[in-house]
Structures are given as structure tokens and as C-alpha cells.
Structure 1
Amino acid sequence: MFFPIPMQVETEARQPTVPTANLVLIALNVLFYFLVPLESMMTGPGMSLMTILTYGFAHGSFFHLLFNMWYLWVVGNPVNRRIGNFYYTATYLGTIVLIGILARCLGGSFLYGSSGAVFAVLATATLLLPVKRVEVHYLALFPLTILIGLLRLPRYGLQWFIRWDHASMPVLLFSLLFLVLELLGFLIWFLQGQIHVTSLGHLTGFVCGITAVLLLPERITIPQKAAMT
């Protein structure tokens, strides 16, 4: 088991703008969690077509909400500042709708949560901010602690079996860790003859984020060179 929690992403050198779209989306997720029943928002068999959007603002528990919103706060703010409110909102909502349509086409299970959109934001950060440093706190359990210990010796013997630590790494490496974990999870279910809709939604979200970056105008994807003086 490996559970990474990002704490802060390195910011741009210039004065940052307010990530308005991300703040509004986080606020909407929180409001919907407390004000609207989950059963009326999740998408799945027999649910209205509108739920291919509303499911992305529904969460099954407070910790589900907290986990997604924390990742959205840490990773989403710098992405929102980089691509602007319009493209950020379009990427977020577009990903939710596409995953919702995919889930409805597969049928047989209900889907809720903003995780797919969070993965799209993570993919966007991977391509646009690959070398920015992200501070990560992580919990690792045996046997992954052995691999981590070989890379970075533990301070205490117990950390060979359970380890709570922190590290600084590029956004690219952080994203690849998440992607590998999701691929492994999806593969385990697939080898058992099942398609895990949640893992598929996460992977689809990552692909949507990559696609969104490819569709962005060059003035956003290519950093502007500093003016010559």
C-alpha cells in the first residue's frame, strides 16, 4: 500500500492570479455534499441523463470529499492559474461528462465522485508543469517500504514495515506514481474478469487531461519568453 498526499506545488515566479474557477468548483462540491442527497446525483442504471454531470459533484463520505478537494486545491490551483478559468472549467466539466457517458454505456454500476476530473487536472499539471516541485507526505506499508528503504534509508527500524515520511519530487514523477498505482489496480480487477469502473474512470480522466492540453492554444502551452532588456 502506498498513499501519497501532495502538500504544495511550487508556484510560478510571477505574481499568481486568483484561481477563481477552481475555488468555485471546490465550493460547489462542498455545497452539493451537504445539501443534496447522493442518491439523486449519482449516475447509473435508471438514473436521469442529467446525472452524467451531477455525479461529479457527489461524494459518498466526508473523507471521500476531503480527499478529492485537497488534491484539487493543491494541484488544481497552479493549473487554473496557468490555463485560465475558461479552459480549466471546460477541462473539468468535459471530463466529468465523458466519464459519465462511458459509465452509462458500460452499465451495471453506479458512479459518483470528482476523482476522474481530479485525474484530468493532474494530467494537465504533468504536461504543463512537469518540473515544478511538489511536496509530498506519504504512508507506505510493507513490502513497498523495502523498496523505499533501498532508495532512502529509514531512520528507525520500524520504517522498514510502515513508513510515514515526506519527500520533494517533480510533478511528473508524482503523476507517474499515481498512474502506475491506478494501472495496477485496473489490471488486478481485469485479470479477475471484471472492469473496475472507478479505476477506469481515473484512467479516462488522465487521458482527458492529456487531450485537453493538446487542444489548448500555444500561448498557454508554450511559456512566454522573458522580454529582452
Structure 2
Amino acid sequence: MIPIKDKNPSRSFPVVNLSIIVICSILWLYEVKLDEESLNLFIHKFGLVPSELFSNFYQLFTHMFLHGSWLHIIGNMWFLWVFGDNVEDRLGKLRYLAFYIISGIGAGLIQTFVSFLTGSQDIPMVGASGAISGVLGAYLYLFPHARILALVPFFFFLTLVEIPAVFFIGMWIIIQIINGIITLPFAGMGGVAWFAHIGGFFVGYKLIKLFRRRAYNW
């Protein structure tokens, strides 16, 4: 399922959400310009390499602004565009930024734990997926009944369907969990960091309860 838009208008302009999209896009264009050797060095320095985490702790932050392919960056930024503005609107600018970063760090730590369990601790991880999964967890908690217009496969075709957020995001996290379990024996070969998605989602779902806007903004 591919989200097209949500029918859940925001009351404010999503400055932070848009800024994250712009920063990730600029960094991706920088990555594209690098030759293969320079790109590998860049990814190993600023991606999250679990075996190097204790000496390069900054990677928990930097990895969430890098991406590995055009499909990776486009998919992540599109999901962030569709769902992030409403979460920012509810939390406020600075609170949303803190929520996003903490979700990404939490996702990175969970994926790091799984990497050590599966012997894939030397494979670098990049992507905003973990942080964006946290945003999806927050969206599910805050707006479970919001309507999502999505492209849904129907036999050999794609059709537009309006789906409640609780169903769309619920199906999304179920797919992440299934894929994570199925691919766990092959984690040493690299691929999608499914447990960053899973971990980020549950971190965000829990964290949003602490970050909800009270009677003030910051």
C-alpha cells in the first residue's frame, strides 16, 4: 500500500518536517556525486556501524539523514511528508524535532542489538526509516481514525482506496514484523533494517505519550 495523502489538515506550516526532508535530500544528492570509494568511506564514517558505535557514538544521529538508493530516499521522504506534518502540528516545532531524533536513535539502538545477535555488526545502516517509523507510531496513537488515501493492489492493478489510519499503519507494522522474522537468518547479508522500522515504531508509539502538547508550546 502506498499512501497518497491523509485527510487530516494541519493548522500550522510544518517547518521542521519540511526542513528534515530538505536536509536528507541535499545529503542524498551529495552522496550521488561521490565515486564508489568515497561513498563507501562516507557511509562507514556517518552511517551506523554497530561494531564501531562505542567509538563513534555520533553515528546514532548522522545515520538517519543518509540513504542508500533513490527508492530509499523517495519512499522515506514521501511517508514523512504524508504523516509528519500532523504530528508536528500536535507537538509543536521543537518538541517534534526532539521526538523525531529520539525515535531515530531508539530505532538505531534496537537495530544495533539485533545486528550483534545476528553477526551483522560490521554492516553500516543508513536511512531515516527508524525515525519515520516513530512518526507513524505517533500518528497511529494521535489520529487512529484519520482517513488515508492509498494505492492498494487489487489483483494485477492498483486502485485508490480511503483507509482508516489504524488499518493502514496497522498493516504496515505487521508487514515489517513478518519481514523482520523471515529475513532474520539472512541478516548477515545486509538488506533492509526491518528491526529499525519495528523498533522505531514502538519507540514512537510509547514516546508520544510523553511528548503530547500540554497547555504550552516550545
Following TM superposition, by how much is the alpha carbon of 1:198 offset from its aligned partner in structure 2, in angstroms? 0.8
SS in 1 for 2:163: strand
Task: Please list, as runs of the form range in 1=range in 2, the aligned pairs for 1:149-164 lying within 5 A after superposition.
Answer: 159=155, 162-164=156-158
Say which structure, 1 or 2, has more relative contact order (CA 8 Å, 6+ apart).
2
The answer on whether the counterparts of 1:7 and 1:136 sit within 8 Å (CA) in structure 2 is yes
TM-score (norm 1): 0.77
Task: Please list, as runs of the form range in 1=range in 2, the aligned pairs for 1:214-229 lying within 5 A after superposition.
Answer: 214-217=209-212, 219=214
Match of 1:207 among 184, 202, 205: 202
Following TM superposition, by how much is the alpha carbon of 1:85 offset from its aligned partner in structure 2, in angstroms? 1.1
**Is 1:9 matched with 2:3?**
no
Which structure has the greater CA radius of gyration?
Answer: 1
**For 1:127-170, what per-residue CA distance to the aligned partner results, in whole angstroms no more than 9, with x for missing partners?**
101111110013x3xxxx5xxxxxxxxxxxxx3xx231110011
The answer on whether the counterparts of 2:134 and 2:203 sit within 8 Å (CA) in structure 1 is yes
Following TM superposition, by how much is the alpha carbon of 1:219 offset from its aligned partner in structure 2, in angstroms? 3.0
CA 1:131–1:51 in 2, change beyond 3 Å: closer, same or farther? same
CA 1:128–1:24 in 2, change beyond 3 Å: closer, same or farther? same
Quote the residue 2:173 is aligned against.
Answer: 179
Question: Which stretches in structure 1 are left out of the alignment for 5+ residues?
Answer: 146-158, 221-229
**Is 1:21 matched with 2:16?**
yes
The answer to which of 43-52 and 175-184 deviates more is 43-52
Match of 2:72 among 59, 64, 72: 64
CA 1:218–1:75 in 2, change beyond 3 Å: closer, same or farther? closer
Q: Which segments of structure 1 move beyond 6 Å, counting only runs of 4 or more?
A: none
Task: Please list, as runs of the form range in 1=range in 2, the aligned pairs for 1:67-216 lying within 5 A after superposition.
Answer: 67-105=75-113, 106=116, 107-138=121-152, 140=153, 159=155, 162-190=156-184, 192=185, 198-216=193-211
> Number of residues paired by the alignment?
194
The answer on whether the counterparts of 1:103 and 1:197 sit within 8 Å (CA) in structure 2 is no
The answer on whether the counterparts of 2:140 and 2:169 sit within 8 Å (CA) in structure 1 is yes
Which is richer in helix? Answer: 2
SS in 2 for 1:219: coil
Aligned mates of 2:100, 2:86 — CA distance in 1: 14
The alignment yields a C-alpha RMSD, in angstroms, of 2.3
Aligned mates of 1:81, 1:218 — CA distance in 2: 9
Aligned mates of 1:164, 1:113 — CA distance in 2: 27
